[in-house]
Structure 1
Amino acid sequence: MRIVLFLWAWLLSVGALAAPGDPATLDRGTWPEQLKNPTLFDVASRAEILTFARGLLASEALDEAALAQRLGLRTVNMDAVNRLRGRLWQRLFNGYDHAQQSCDQDASFCFLVEDVPTLREQAGKFQLGEESYYIKWAEPSRTFHAQYLDELLRKAALFPQTGSEIDRFGDYERNGDEMNDRLFLLSFDSAANLQPDNTDWLAEYLRKSNLSGTFFVLGKDVQARLAEHSVASLQATFSQQCVGVQGWEFRSHSHWQDWQDSVRRSADLVKGKLPENYVPLFRPPDGQRRSDAQAFFNAQGLQVALWDIDAQDGAGKLKGSQSAQRVLTLMLLWRHGVINFNMKQDAVKTALPWLITQTAQSGIGWEDCQDAFR
């Protein structure tokens, strides 16, 4: 009975959270420890997993009408929502199972979790006492995960009528689910705005850091660069990096009549001018693409490259520091995945260096872009 009452208290509290569309972020300064070794990464990871799992469990008490009201929607696709919940529980358990391997070195947030049912049980009971060393983090983290869960549930509720990265249409679409524990891939979207373009800065920063990322470029942007600079200059910009495509221009590829030409033209241009950097990947703008496109992408030798950790730095949604702290929190939560930054927002110039510095001793790895999605 106490657990039931606690869950309903949670549900009532999240009704006072930010309006739909406000991206979640968390001040990592509320966490009292630096991620200065792999064990401390695991401690923070277990804490974030349990907090998110508690919110996920509470959300299951909502019926369809209550969920629609919470998400600010008229209707919800409950089948898609339930599929999402199933995937989330499995991924949370897999992550916690990895994170609990270091419990013999630091027992903080360690509970007996052997499968999804025991994770659900522990999540339902999870709560910090007022004297906890981590108490200043507890409420900000709860708020973050409630907002973030709503982001995910809202996308699932609208899928597939509104396409997004929340689910895949087939095996030709890839995200970060299959990556190894503690391994992350950096990726960069173009987005619609033309300025500022931080591509050159990002590529140079990654090279100096001995890192690589996948840049998803627009065909018209590459064409504009070539009108002012040589092919050699373009190749120098993307040296040691990977380049996929995001279409000829940044617009939804779900209802655009010329979407196939958009993909084909941009892929042919990049493959021809950047043969050493080109990777056969298409990232749909805003995740919007057709559900019946598998035959086309197979014929083109392309995969659809989605993501599962969104920096929410597009269109000035979050400042650089907020974006970076959001990404780090989601890295702790999911423990692997594809990170999506916006190369045309200045926030990335603050967020990326901070993120690299904060995780330098945490035991994570950065996937080589040439090895991703194979």
Structure 2
Amino acid sequence: MRIVFLFSAWLLSFGVMAAPGDVATLDRSTWPEQLNNPTLFDVASRAEILMFARVLLASESLDEPALAQRLGLRKINLESVNNLRERLWQRLLANYNFAQRSCDQDASFCFLVEDMDTLRQQAAKFQVSDDSYYIKWSEPSRLFHAQYLDEQLRKAALFPQVSSEVDRFGDYERNGDGMHDRLFLLTFDSAANVAPDNTDWVAQYLRKSNMSGTFFVLGKDIQTRLAERSVASLQATYSTQCIGVQGWEFRSHSHWQDWQDSVHRSVELVKSKLPENYVPLFRPPEGQRRSDAESFFKAQGLQVALWDIDAQDGAGKLKGSASAQRVLTLMLLWRHGVINFNVKQDAVKTAMPWLITQTAQSGIGWEDCQDAFR
């Protein structure tokens, strides 16, 4: 409680007026087609890209005070916000170019987009007619993207005073930006909950599906497990999976005096007990880490592992179905990236299987955890 109180007070010192709005999710049943081939994945992808581009463009008409009010903040880092917008536009253009390669097979949501100017022009006039096959999807999608955009803009508005996954501090930090089109990586945070811990279930499900994921563990959790069970048992749990660290405990690593020891102790424990699974990756809890940590991480041979697609399945947030549908919508929008689930929330036990089933014939791929972040 003391940590939560101090962090809350610290946020207020930067002018936070209100908590973030509702977490974005979209009922995928509003979309009238199954993603049962790569072309139909592209159709849905083009639609989500254009809708997000529409709300992103609209947000640019707000001046700084109006944007701050919309985000529930007294002050915003406008430079950070504009940097984020520029990155979003670049990724939208690249993704639409990938998605329109199948326009000769299905022309739905295919418009003339040759460069950034034409993408912005199409975004400005994008709408779905009342008699469209896709009309039931249109307004729910617009609301989803408006909420999701606000989530991202709010993080950018607070960056770097409040660090998050919205931006990187250097090339020692990685997310899914550099991944190939249609390729995704599953990752699992330990988060703060002690129970339930669904690691055994998730790892077994992945093995049965011939898949792998990266589990970011807390050193304290591994120590507790080793007190209860053998090293061999723990190794069996994580068989064929990858393990990175999230620190000794789930706590912000941006204002913790012993953050370096937290990382170092966790790494040494995992490397010594689970050497076959260990990968040199540190995931900062809630994305919070120091901006001046490059020399430390490079000296330790570590990369900071961020993410692009957040299931928002933490305590008090989205449940299984809503979480899964959020992730699928963001997969269509971003077309590649690192997905972040919370392994200590039961939502993952329904969300992940649903997601894998829904995309089984869509032409996407799941990155092997040993090949990621290289």
Q: TM-score, normalised by structure 1?
A: 0.95
For 1:3, the equivalent position in structure 2 comes to none
How far 1:21 sits from its partner (Å)?
A: 3.6
| DSSP 3-state at the match of 1:146 | helix
For 2:368, the equivalent position in structure 1 comes to 368
Amino acid paired to 1:289: R
5+ long unaligned stretches in structure 2: 1-17
State the distance in 2 between where 1:363 and 1:145 align: 24
CA offsets 1:319-350 (integer angstroms, 9 cap, x no match): 10000000000000000000000000000000
For 2:60, the equivalent position in structure 1 comes to 60
For 1:251, the equivalent position in structure 2 comes to 251
Q: How well do the aligned residues superpose, as a CA RMSD in angstroms? A: 0.9
State the distance in 2 between where 1:279 and 1:179 align: 18
State the distance in 2 between where 1:287 and 1:186 align: 17
For 1:189, the equivalent position in structure 2 comes to 189
Amino acid paired to 2:40: L
Amino acid paired to 2:222: V
State the distance in 1 between where 2:63 and 2:21 align: 22
Change over 3 Å in CA distance of 1:296–1:253 after alignment to 2: same
For 1:162, the equivalent position in structure 2 comes to 162
Contact 2:203 2:241 (8 Å CA) reproduced: yes
State the distance in 2 between where 1:212 and 1:93 align: 30
Amino acid paired to 2:302: L
Contact 1:246 1:282 (8 Å CA) reproduced: yes
Alignment of 1:337-356 (within 5 A): 337-356=337-356
5+ long unaligned stretches in structure 1: 1-17
Alignment of 1:187-336 (within 5 A): 187-336=187-336
For 2:108, the equivalent position in structure 1 comes to 108
How far 1:116 sits from its partner (Å)?
A: 1.3
State the distance in 2 between where 1:116 and 1:174 align: 26
Amino acid paired to 2:329: T
CA offsets 1:93-151 (integer angstroms, 9 cap, x no match): 00000000000000000001111111011000100110000000000000000000000
| DSSP 3-state at the match of 2:340 | strand
Contact 1:187 1:340 (8 Å CA) reproduced: yes
For 2:13, the equivalent position in structure 1 comes to none
CA offsets 1:286-312 (integer angstroms, 9 cap, x no match): 000000000000000000000010000
State the distance in 1 between where 2:274 and 2:217 align: 12
Contact 1:253 1:285 (8 Å CA) reproduced: yes
How far 1:19 sits from its partner (Å)?
A: 7.2
| DSSP 3-state at the match of 2:370 | helix
Amino acid paired to 2:350: T
Aligned length: 357
| DSSP 3-state at the match of 1:369 | coil
Q: TM-score, normalised by structure 2?
A: 0.95
State the distance in 2 between where 1:150 and 1:330 align: 14
How far 1:22 sits from its partner (Å)?
A: 1.7
State the distance in 1 between where 2:372 and 2:257 align: 30
